[in-house]
Amino acid sequence: MNIELLRNHCISKPAVTENFPFDKDVLVFKVLGKMFALTSLKSWEAGTPSVNLKCDPEKAIELRETYESIKPGFHMSKIHWNTVELYHGDLSVKFIQQLIDDSYQLITNGMTKKQQAELANYK
């Protein structure tokens, strides 16, 4: 997976915005203001790309035990976030996209009824 494919997949989802709220390095994808994915541009330039994704805590543990490329979230809650290292090559693009979809869905499922209604306007 390359950065363009990652970005295009993230921004193709309803109500997603992208910005750099922390610094000029960390690209953050949000749905209605709530983060669901973030990645360091410097890591892509260095050849060690990764993306942090929200994950159900039980599934997060299962993924970490199954895949060498999936670690506890770097600089994030280790319970709710995974860092997916994209440079090992052991994860397919389709699988990574599914992890992104799961992160997005986890965030939107936790939204208030008002936010859910707002999200429905984007679909």
Can you give the residue ranges of every domain in the chain?
Answer: 3-115
CA quadruple 38, 27, 98, 113: dihedral positive or negative?
Answer: positive
How far from 18 is each of 59, 62, 92, 98, 114, CA to CA, in Å? 26, 29, 24, 19, 22
The alpha-helical segments, DSSP class H, found in the chain are 3-11, 41-45, 57-66, 93-109, 113-120
pLDDT at 79: 81
pLDDT tens, per residue, the chain with 123 residues? 999 999 999 999 999 999 999 999 999 999 999 999 999 999 999 999 999 999 999 999 999 999 999 999 888 878 899 999 999 889 999 999 999 999 999 999 999 999 999 999 886
pLDDT at 75: 80
pLDDT at 92: 95
pLDDT at 77: 77
Give pTM, 2 decimals: 0.94
pLDDT at 62: 96
CATH 2.50.20.20 assigned to domain 3-115? The reply is: no
Cβ neighbours of 10 (radius 10 Å): 26
